[in-house]
């Protein structure tokens, strides 16, 4: 549960701190509908159980044999260590020098304080360098294993030599390729969770919760 001078919110209970939290149960629907949920992530499963509890006929399609997305796998890791932490450790074990380049003022800006402190601490423990306010600049020297980067404000450049591996991480984009064909076939389609707009667990469960209730 978190409180950032806003209403209380919980990643697995979208009704937390609401007046009806304790006794709440989905309202039975007056019309029984056939509902298909694609994906067994938190958003899909939340939408599925609510729609089923309201009396709809619900079928869930999952991509694997077990329910749950990457979040389930992450939760199985010792201590629930965030996946980012593992990458930091693995990268350090493989390479002499690891550099993170970001156009932002600092790393892990949008994470909660405790998480941010953990990320920053692990990076420093492993001597992972951070170059802030900079972006990679594509230049011929990259073919010689040298990565050029430029300051986002003044264009000043720098070079990282002997690059053996380069990973470019972009903002997440929604994976909603099924939506177009389903709508074209006349099937009422709602997007929930990361499929609607990549966010976090809070958004995923509350999206699924709202969708299940609106059907």
Ligand X SMILES: Cc1cc2nc3c(=O)[nH]c(=O)nc-3n(C[C@H](O)[C@H](O)[C@H](O)COP(=O)(O)OP(=O)(O)OC[C@H]3O[C@@H](n4cnc5c(N)ncnc54)[C@H](O)[C@@H]3O)c2cc1C
Q: Which residues bind ligand X (CB under 6 A)?
A: 11, 38-44, 61-63, 69-71, 82-83, 178, 193-195, 199-202, 204
Q: CB of 164: closest distance to ligand X in angstroms?
A: 23
Q: CB of 27: closest distance to ligand X in angstroms?
A: 23
Cα separation values, 151 from 107, 109, 144, Å: 16, 18, 22
| Bridge partners, residue 158, by sequence | 149
Q: CB of 41: closest distance to ligand X in angstroms?
A: 2
Judged by beta carbon, residue 37 or residue 134, the one nearer ligand X is 37
Judged by beta carbon, residue 42 or residue 101, the one nearer ligand X is 42
Give yes or no for a contact between 71 and 41, defined as CB atoms under 8 angstroms apart.
yes
Judged by beta carbon, residue 1 or residue 83, the one nearer ligand X is 83
Q: CB of 141: closest distance to ligand X in angstroms?
A: 31
Judged by beta carbon, residue 43 or residue 134, the one nearer ligand X is 43
| Bridge partners, residue 137, by sequence | 148
Rounded-to-10 torsion of CA 122, 127, 128, 130: 100
């Amino acid at each position: 549960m978190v409180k950032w001078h806003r209403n209380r919110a919980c990643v697995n209970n979208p009704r937390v701190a609401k007046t009806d939290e304790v006794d709440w149960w989905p309202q039975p629907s007056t019309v029984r509908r056939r509902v298909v949920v694609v994906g067994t992530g938190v958003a899909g499963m939340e939408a599925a159980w609510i729609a089923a509890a309201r009396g709809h006929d619900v079928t869930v399609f999952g991509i694997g044999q077990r329910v749950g997305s990457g979040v389930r796998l992450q939760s199985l890791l010792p201590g629930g260590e965030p996946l980012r932490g593992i990458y930091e450790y693995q990268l350090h074990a493989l390479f002499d020098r690891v550099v993170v380049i970001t156009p932002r003022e600092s790393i892990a800006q949008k994470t909660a304080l405790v998480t941010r402190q953990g990320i920053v601490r692990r990076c420093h423990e492993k001597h992972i360098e951070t170059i802030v306010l900079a972006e990679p600049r594509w230049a011929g020297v990259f073919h010689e294993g040298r990565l050029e980067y430029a300051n986002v404000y003044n264009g000043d450049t720098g070079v990282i030599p002997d690059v053996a591996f380069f990973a470019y991480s972009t903002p997440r984009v929604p994976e909603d390729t099924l939506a177009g064909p389903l709508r074209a076939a006349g099937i009422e389609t709602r997007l929930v969770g990361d499929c609607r707009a990549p966010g976090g667990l809070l958004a995923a469960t509350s999206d699924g919760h709202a969708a299940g209730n609106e059907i």
